[in-house]
Amino acid sequence: MPVGTLGAVKGIGPAELERAGAEILLANLYHLALRPGVDTIAELGGLHAFCGWRGPLLTDSGGFQVMSLARLRRLDDDGVTFRSHVDGAELRFTPAGVVEMQERLGVDIAMALDECPPWPVERAEAEAAAARTGRWAARARAASRGEGSALFGIVQGGVFPDLRERAAREVVGLDFDGYAIGGVSVGEPAADRRAVVERTAPLLPAGKPRYLMGVGTPPDLLHAVGCGIDLFDCVLPSRNARHGLLFTRQGPLRIKNAAFRRDPRPVDAGCDCACCGRVSRAFLHHLLRSGELTGAVLATAHNLRYYLDFMAAVRQAIASGRLADVEREVTLRYADRDLTEEAAAGSGSRPPAAVNPR
């Protein structure tokens, strides 16, 4: 699922997303509630009409902001009070209120409010966050009217297997429409992240969608697919594109590097996106090095197309029994490569902000 924080992926309109092959878009409830506000969007016909997206929409619950905006929020057993990073206005999220807001937006998939603990996290803090998330899940389930929006519960528990097992048992017992694994890809080592997925995914019902939140490198996606995960979101494709790190069938490409200054080839000869079908590596290198907005737009169009094509290939490989072949190829191209935002920003862009409201 491409991440459109404010209802749009930066630089890519809804028609371009459709042409790239996107079928579902993720938006951010916290940011939309701040501006333009849930009331405004509802008055304008709901989020689909507001942003022009014709396919399914998923909104997150604000749980990530509980972690990423820790210095701007106050947490209690009934919910979380944010102090807007834009203008300092107060915004209150409760389990029932979050469900109600998402239903008013008219989204297809709503997420229950959760507490996403940071990394590193002590066991006591992870246990408290998982317990609070479980209590909030029960309140969210009771508040859901079950009309129009599917409601997903979220499993927390840090890297502690027994906490994950307990949390999964509690959330599954509430009979949500789907289930998510949260609290990963927040800075923990890859081995710990994969262990959480391996232990938690089998605890979630196979007959309902299983969603891994915020995980996005090609090797991690394949690993999670092998564990039974169905849905993913991550800002990695679009954010890295803006910094000049591109994903290709041959591996990652840092297009700002001097080696591409006179390279006439497309970014990826096997891709027919708006970028690869028209412009050269040299031109994209020039645009991004110059800070030209068009460079970020073209790079984003390519990275999103790569990811959507990649997931389509994974689905085909599952159907044909060739998933192991895809895993070998992706491991060869991407294993042990640094694909973080910091690595992308190292090609001449500004470093990421200290507070990332996502």
Q: Where are the alpha helices (DSSP H) in the chain?
A: 14-20, 29-34, 38-43, 47-51, 63-68, 95-105, 123-143, 161-172, 190-200, 218-226, 236-243, 281-290, 293-320, 323-334, 341-345
Long-range contacts of range 276-279, CB-CB < 8 Å, 24 or more positions apart?
A: 276/302
Long-range contacts of range 205-208, CB-CB < 8 Å, 24 or more positions apart?
A: 205/172, 205/179, 208/176, 208/177, 208/178, 208/179
The residues, any chain, with a CB within 8 Å of residue 206's CB and separated by 6 or more, are 228
Pick from 111, 117, 116: nearest CA to 150:
111
Asked about 233 being catalytic, the answer comes back as: yes
Distances (CA, A) of 305 to 125, 135, 349: 39, 39, 23
Instruction: Choose, from 114, 233, 268, 309, the residue flagged as catalytic.
Output: 233
Asked about 336 being catalytic, the answer comes back as: no
Where does residue 128 rank: exposed (0-12), middle (13-18), buried (19+ CB within 10 A)?
middle
Instruction: Choose, from 60, 114, 268, 309, the residue flagged as catalytic.
Output: 60
CA 162 – CA 147 distance, rounded (Å): 34
Q: Which two tokens stand for residue 74?
A: 């106050």
DSSP-assigned states of every residue in 52-70: T--S-EEEE-SHHHHHHTG
Q: How many CA atoms lie within 13 A of 98 on its CB side?
A: 32
CA 230 – CA 27 distance, rounded (Å): 18
Active site residues: 60, 233
